[in-house]
């Protein structure tokens, strides 16, 4: 619980303010409450591991509204999983494969195979469950920036742009339906989009299950469905459940809810976080919100109208009459539309007209009537497209005209189909037709019969006055469909008749056929019945048309896998026909999978038997859980004790579909596990391993093996390939002594006694003790021309070294005077007398070359007259004091080995400077003197030595005295450069003083202070070095007691003000 509380605090600290543009409308609210977590030992979640399943839709037309069908009137663009930054979703986390919209429509819940996860630093915490705020959530998902972030992520996933997702889709805008609209019309910018957008977001939480391995990231809907299916128990259930019911049944569905019913989805009242939602309530209303981006621009309206202008209601028969028609464009833009004129139901004139906005175009037409009947003239404009107009009710207008006078025409024929049969399919039957001359004049007329618009009979008949001819005609009726029969008389010349409207007669012939409408699925088989993941199965079944007379085309046949359509096609059926279908499917997921074969599924309710349109078979898909190890190699295969060998091998995940995490890989040496690593494996992937192990002191042949997933191998497909065959490394004892000369930390100076240290190594398992009589030889020499001059030859007798360890030996020697610039050859050799048995001795010695440095002789120049200090000079800070201390370790042996630590340090003794006795104005004593500048001071420094805390005080033969001391002065900014410092001279037992000054009256050991030196403390710093030890040279810095400068030497001799100027 402490860890979870800390994670919550981290989440709170990560929230930051951000700016955004907001949609016109939102549909989300939330309840009240605080987050709580499950008890220890059960499932739990981190409040910062929140996500949202985000789906975006775009309207198919600019008329789509929040009352439209979301699945019918909108395109679904895609779904992403959105999270905040700062954490990573583990690859083992399971996601539900669909959205609330899908589940609401009956889609079965499956696992999402490749979740599209995106991160946004501003993604807000889920209210209640993760401590978020509903207003922050609404504002975030109400941002066009968020919508475009999701849209661009979906586009990138599909290898295209945001516009690329939309450009190929058909949209209806301003009444025009087409694809390829410009991006500004479609993309959700909130300023120029002509179609609305919807974003739906469902909060999710990563739940860590009680097995400490499994993780799920579900929406409230998916938590409910998974429980209803028995996959997970979120209650305590006596300790067998996950014990986190408060998140899926209370907090998550309450966190975000709909405020209004959009697209027909219900609204549930907001609750407190203690309210327990039912399964049905969660699926239909819990845990989701919506935002609506309306169309920003409305396309110009389209509206056309027509009316008649001047006309004569009673024109004369057989004389032309004129009338006007007004075609009007009430819309906002110019358009080209079809204008038509009908006499009754017959079109007698048409023309396409281009009409500007708010303009009336007038047509003047002329007609001649040849009869006395009343003619209804109807004008129509944009008639077939009127439904797209803002007012579709003004697209037609009618007038009546009744001609007067005696018609010149005496032609008038009519026809009537008296009877039609009810034929069987593909049979010939009689129809009876009466052809009639309605006038008192004899004449001829063409008589025609059409079946389904195809002329099947034609004959020119002669008629006496008022004659009617009735006849039967044998007609072939093909197939089972119903047929349209039309009889025509004098059709092409009917306009010259007194009544041209009775020259055609139509009837529908109803075919008598088997009315059974029924399809079925039989003989479904899935083979094999058990497969490993990513293998294939063959699905075979038959579909049957149970109608013995009718054939069908375009009948849908589907195969579903666990409720999802995986194969869809259409097929044709002969009458009473059967089709055999065979498909092959690759099964990716483990578990029991159900195949369903369906035929005519969406229309099954219209069939006589709707229960035989599907069949189901199940197949078991097993995970190919198998790891193997191979290619074991050891390099080298023969080594000395305590050396290392490199072990290389390969491990493989032989499962072609599943990835795995934390699979143990081990190396065994002599039957013991000496290495364990845990690795993640991608599907069907391997790893190369390189492991370095120390062979220890086990001499002889030693066995090495590698193995993978050893503890769980019995659950694998093959349990015999998890360990390699043994390979062997031969371990021999490493009997070898070596020597290394330690590089000194300073130059060797002429005339100085120095120390050279060597580290000797024993690589064998046997101690080197005094009785081993192991000696270390040491020699220093140089060349003087062609001569070899030996400086020293020494031996360290009875050197001791523990096995597999090292020791320190050292030699004290004096660098000859006058050898500055010479190269000293320093040579050391261990086991000089070969008294210790070794496998080799070519590595027992080492040579080091060192160029001898000149002993320093720097002295400061004589003090010059300067009436003021140098420009820019300030008294420098006194150098830091350094003590100069070292320690070193040495193994010593009497009856056993004992490691002793020796040390030595320069003591804190402080140099003293004293004003020259000839300085007339000096005052004070020992460590507290006052003088005027321009006079000399003497120096006295006696270095001393002291032990180092925690170590044994080294004896005097283990180190040298201080052999060089240099004084540094404030007037030279404490520089150690030549001629700015003074090398001191050792006098007496151990006292260091200035050398005699030839510029002093009596060659006294003086250093003259500058006459311009400012009033204040005058401190001399000394650096003592060339104190050599086995651990190298010690250097120490000490600062003198200060002498106070007050005025200058001029003040001893002049009454006037002195010349020591601050300028």
pLDDT tens digits, one per residue of 819-863: 999 999 999 999 999 999 998 899 999 999 999 999 999 999 887
Percent of the chain whose predicted confidence (pLDDT) is above 90: 76
pLDDT band at 15 (very low <50, low <70, confident <90, very high): very low
For residue 273, pLDDT beyond 90? no
691-702 pLDDT per residue, tens: 999 999 889 999
865 — pLDDT class (breaks 50, 70, 90): low
DSSP 3-state of 1059: coil
pLDDT at residue number 352: 92
- Which pLDDT score, from 0 to 100, does residue 630 have? 97
Strands 727-732 and 638-640: parallel
Residues 436-464, mean pLDDT to the nearest whole number: 92
d(CA 524, CA 543) in angstroms, rounded, equals 10
Full-model pTM: 0.42
What architecture is the 413-509 domain classified under in CATH? Sandwich (2.60)
Mean pLDDT of the region 360-366: 94
Could you report the per-residue pLDDT of 389-414, keeping only the tens digit for each?
878 899 999 999 999 988 776 788 99
DSSP designation for 256: S
473-490 per-position pLDDT tens digit: 999 998 888 999 999 999
885-1052 belongs to CATH 3.30.70: no
Both tokens assigned to 337: 């539309």
Cis-peptide into 528, omega within 30 deg: yes
Let me know if the fold of 304-401 is the same as that of 627-717. yes
pLDDT in tens, 748-792: 999 999 999 999 999 998 999 999 999 999 999 999 999 999 999
Comparing C-alpha atoms, which of 883, 762, 739 is closest to residue 811? 739
- Residue 32 confidence (pLDDT) above 60: no
Q: Report the alpha-carbon angle 408-409-415, nearest 5.
A: 160
Q: Could you confirm whether domain 304-401 is CATH 2.60.40.10?
A: yes
Q: What CA–CA distance (Å, rounded) separates 144 from 193?
A: 12
- C-alpha–C-alpha distance, residues 622 and 657, integer Å: 11
Strand bridging mode 964-968 / 1021-1029: antiparallel
Instruction: Kindly report the average pLDDT of the chain as a whole number.
Output: 91
**Over the stretch 140-164, which tens digit does the pLDDT of each residue have?**
999 899 999 999 999 999 999 999 9
- For tokens 């096995």, the residue is 803
Whether the per-residue pLDDT at 284 is higher than 90: the answer is no
* Nearest alpha carbon to residue 670 among 734, 727, 733: 727
CB 234 within 8 A of CB 248: yes
Q: Which of 251, 234, 252 is nearest to 243 (CA)?
A: 234
With beta carbons less than 8 A apart as the criterion, state whether 828 and 755 touch.
no
Compute how many other C-beta atoms are within 10 angstroms of the C-beta atom of residue 146.
25
Residue 28: predicted pLDDT: 58
Per residue, the 3-state secondary structure of 192-214, as one string, reads: CCCCCEEEEEEEEEEEECCCCCC
- Where residue 589 falls among pLDDT bands split at 50, 70, 90? confident
Question: By mean pLDDT, which of 36-40, 129-133, 518-522, 766-770 is the weakest?
Answer: 36-40
Which H or E run contains 540? strand 535-545
pLDDT at 409: 61
pLDDT at 1061: 44
Query: Which residues, 6+ apart, have CB-to-CB distance to 996 below 8 Å?
Result: 1003, 1004, 1005
Domain definitions of the chain by residue range: 2-13+26-293, 304-401, 413-509, 519-622, 627-717, 737-851, 885-1052
What pLDDT, on the 0 to 100 scale, is given for residue 867? Answer: 67
Looking at residue 33, its pLDDT comes to 46
pLDDT tens figures, 659-674:
999 999 999 999 999 9
- Which residues, including other chains, have CB under 8 Å from residue 3's CB and lie 6 or more apart? none
Structure tokens at 715: 């659950």
Are 133 and 24 in contact by the 8 Å Cβ rule? The answer is no
Q: How confident is the model at residue 34 (pLDDT cuts 50, 70, 90)?
A: very low
Q: What is the pLDDT of residue 37?
A: 44
The yes-or-no verdict on residue 360 having pLDDT over 70 is yes
Q: If we measure between CA atoms, which residue out of 728, 727, 705, 709 comes closest to residue 718? A: 709
Mean pLDDT, residues 1023-1029 taken together? 97
Q: What is the pLDDT of residue 35?
A: 44
183: pLDDT strictly greater than 80? yes
Tokens (6 digits) for 68: 């439209």
CA distance 250 to 518: 48
User: Backbone phi, then psi, for 234, in 5-degree steps?
Assistant: -85, -5
Question: Which of 985, 999, 1008, 716 minimizes the C-alpha distance to 856?
Answer: 985
Weakest mean pLDDT among 438-447, 579-588, 615-624: 438-447
55 CB-contact burial (10 Å; exposed 0-12 / middle 13-18 / buried 19+): buried
343 upstream amide cis, omega within 30 of 0: no
Could you please state the CATH topology (level 3) that the domain comprising 519-622 is classified under.
Answer: Immunoglobulin-like (2.60.40)
Maximum average pLDDT range among 549-553, 640-644, 808-812 = 808-812
In the structure, what pLDDT confidence band is assigned to residue 366 with cuts at 50, 70 and 90? Answer: very high
Could you please state the CATH topology (level 3) that the domain comprising 737-851 is classified under: Immunoglobulin-like (2.60.40)
Residue 36 has pLDDT above 80, yes or no: no
**Least confident range of 2-16, 220-234, 941-955:** 2-16
pLDDT at 7 over 80: no
User: What is the number of H-type helices and E-type strands within the chain?
Assistant: 10, 64
> Looking up tokens 């020293």, which residue turns up?
792
Cα separation of 482 and 504, whole Å? 20
Name the CATH superfamily, with its identifier, for domain 627-717.
Answer: Immunoglobulins (2.60.40.10)
483 close to 509: Cβ distance less than 8 angstroms:
yes
Instruction: Tell me the C-alpha distance between 186 and 363, whole Å.
Output: 40
Residue 800 has pLDDT above 60, yes or no: yes
Average pLDDT over residues 556-574: 95
CA atoms of 75 and 54, how far apart (whole Å): 15
The predicted pLDDT at position 25 comes to 62
């Amino acid at each position: 619980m402490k860890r979870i509380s800390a994670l919550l605090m981290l989440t709170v600290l990560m929230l930051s303010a951000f700016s955004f543009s907001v949609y016109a409308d939102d549909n989300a609210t939330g309840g009240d409450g605080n987050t709580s977590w499950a008890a220890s030992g059960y499932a739990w979640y981190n409040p910062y591991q929140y996500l949202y399943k985000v789906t975006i839709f775009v309207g198919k037309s600019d008329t789509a509204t929040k009352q439209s069908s979301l699945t019918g009137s909108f395109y679904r663009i895609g779904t992403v999983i959105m999270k905040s930054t700062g954490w990573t979703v583990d690859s083992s986390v399971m996601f539900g494969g669909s959205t609330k919209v899908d589940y609401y429509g009956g889609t079965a819940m499956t696992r999402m195979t490749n979740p599209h996860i995106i991160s946004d630093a501003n993604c807000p915490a889920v209210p209640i469950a993760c401590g978020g705020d509903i207003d922050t959530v609404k504002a975030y998902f109400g941002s066009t920036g968020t919508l475009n972030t999701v849209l661009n992520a979906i586009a990138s996933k599909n290898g295209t742009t945001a516009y690329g997702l939309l450009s190929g889709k058909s949209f209806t805008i301003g009444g025009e339906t087409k694809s390829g609209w410009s991006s500004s019309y479609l993309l959700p910018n909130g300023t120029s989009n002509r179609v609305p957008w919807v974003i739906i977001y469902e909060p999710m939480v990563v739940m860590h299950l009680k097995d400490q391995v499994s993780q799920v990231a579900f929406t409230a809907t998916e938590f409910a469905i998974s429980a209803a299916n028995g996959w997970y128990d979120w209650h305590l259930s006596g300790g067998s459940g996950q014990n986190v019911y408060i998140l899926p049944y209370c907090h998550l569905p309450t966190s975000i809810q709909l405020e209004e019913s959009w697209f027909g989805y219900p609204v549930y009242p907001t609750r407190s976080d203690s309210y327990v939602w039912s399964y049905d309530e969660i699926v239909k209303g819990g845990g989701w919100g919506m935002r609506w981006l309306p169309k920003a621009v409305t396309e110009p309206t389209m509206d056309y109208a027509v009316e008649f202008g001047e006309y004569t209601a009673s024109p004369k028969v057989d004389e032309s009459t004129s009338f006007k028609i007004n075609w009007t464009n009430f819309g906002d833009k110019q358009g080209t539309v079809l204008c038509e004129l009908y006499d009754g139901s017959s079109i007698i004139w048409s023309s396409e007209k281009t009409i500007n906005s708010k303009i009336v175009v007038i047509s003047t037409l002329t007609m001649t009537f040849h009869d006395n009947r009343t003619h209804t003239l109807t004008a129509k404009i944009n008639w077939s497209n009127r439904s797209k107009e803002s007012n579709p009710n003004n697209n037609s207008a009618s007038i009546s005209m009744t001609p007067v006078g005696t018609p010149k025409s005496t032609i008038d024929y009519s026809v009537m189909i008296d009877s039609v049969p009810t034929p069987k399919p593909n049979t010939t039957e009689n129809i009876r037709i009466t052809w009639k001359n309605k006038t008192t004049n004899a004449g001829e007329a063409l008589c025609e019969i059409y079946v389904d618009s195809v002329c099947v009979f034609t004959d020119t008949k002669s008629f006496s006055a008022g004659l009617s001819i009735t006849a039967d005609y044998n007609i072939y009726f093909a197939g089972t469909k119903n047929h349209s029969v039309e009889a025509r008389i004098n059709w092409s010349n009917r306009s010259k008749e007194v009544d041209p409207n009775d020259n055609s007669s139509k009837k529908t012939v109803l075919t008598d056929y088997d009315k059974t409408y029924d399809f079925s699925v039989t003989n479904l088989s899935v083979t094999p019945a058990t497969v490993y993941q990513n293998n294939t199965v063959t699905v075979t079944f038959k579909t049957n048309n149970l109608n013995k007379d009718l054939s069908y085309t375009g009948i849908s046949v589907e195969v579903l896998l666990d409720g999802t359509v995986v194969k869809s096609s259409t097929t044709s059926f002969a009458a009473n026909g059967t089709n055999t279908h065979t498909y092959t499917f690759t099964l990716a997921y483990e578990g029991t999978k159900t195949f369903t074969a369906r035929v005519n599924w969406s229309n099954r309710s219209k069939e006589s038997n709707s229960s035989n349109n599907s069949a189901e078979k199940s197949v078991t898909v097993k995970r190919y859980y198998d790891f193997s190890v191979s290619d074991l190699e050891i390099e080298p295969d023969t080594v000395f004790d305590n050396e290392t060998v490199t072990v290389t091998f390969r491990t493989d995940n032989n499962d072609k579909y599943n990835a795995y995490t934390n699979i143990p890989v081990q190396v065994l040496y002599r039957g013991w596990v000496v290495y364990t690593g845990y690795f993640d494996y991608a599907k069907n992937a391997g790893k190369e391993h390189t492991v370095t192990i120390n062979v220890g002191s086990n001499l002889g042949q030693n066995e090495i093996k590698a193995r993978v997933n050893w503890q769980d191998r019995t659950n694998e497909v093959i349990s015999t390939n998890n360990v390699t065959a043994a390979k062997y490394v031969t371990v021999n004892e490493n009997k070898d002594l070596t020597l290394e000369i330690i590089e000194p930390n300073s130059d060797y100076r002429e005339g100085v006694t120095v120390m050279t240290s060597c580290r000797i190594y024993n690589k064998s398992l046997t101690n080197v003790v005094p009785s081993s009589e192991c000696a270390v030889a040491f020699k220093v020499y140089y060349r003087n021309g062609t001569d070899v001059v030996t400086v020293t030859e020494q031996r360290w007798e009875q050197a001791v070294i523990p096995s597999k360890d090292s020791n320190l030996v050292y030699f004290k020697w004096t660098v000859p005077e006058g050898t500055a610039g010479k190269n000293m050859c320093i040579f050391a050799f261990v086991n000089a007398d070969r008294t210790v048995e070794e496998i080799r001795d070519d590595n027992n010695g080492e040579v080091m070359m060192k160029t001898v440095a000149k002993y320093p002789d720097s002295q400061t120049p004589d003090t010059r007259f300067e009436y003021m200090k140098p420009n820019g000079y300030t008294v420098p800070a006194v150098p830091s004091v350094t003590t100069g201390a070292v320690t070193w370790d040495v193994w010593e042996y009497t009856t056993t080995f004992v490691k002793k630590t020796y040390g030595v340090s320069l003591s804190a003794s402080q140099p003293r400077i004293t004003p020259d006795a000839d300085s007339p104005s000096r005052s004070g004593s020992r460590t507290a003197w006052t003088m005027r500048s321009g006079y000399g001071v003497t120096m006295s420094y006696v270095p001393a030595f002291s032990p180092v805390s925690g170590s044994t005080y080294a004896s005097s033969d283990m180190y040298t005295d201080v052999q060089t001391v240099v004084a540094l002065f404030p007037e030279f900014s404490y520089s150690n450069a030549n001629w700015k410092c003074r090398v001191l001279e050792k006098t007496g037992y151990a006292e260091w003083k200035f050398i005699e000054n030839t510029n002093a009256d009596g060659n006294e050991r003086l250093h003259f202070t500058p006459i311009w030196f400012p009033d204040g403390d005058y401190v001399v710093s000394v650096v003592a070095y060339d104190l050599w030890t086995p651990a190298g040279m010690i250097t120490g810095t000490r600062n003198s007691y200060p002498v106070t400068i007050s005025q200058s030497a001029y003040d001893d001799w002049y009454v006037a003000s002195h010349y020591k100027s601050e300028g």
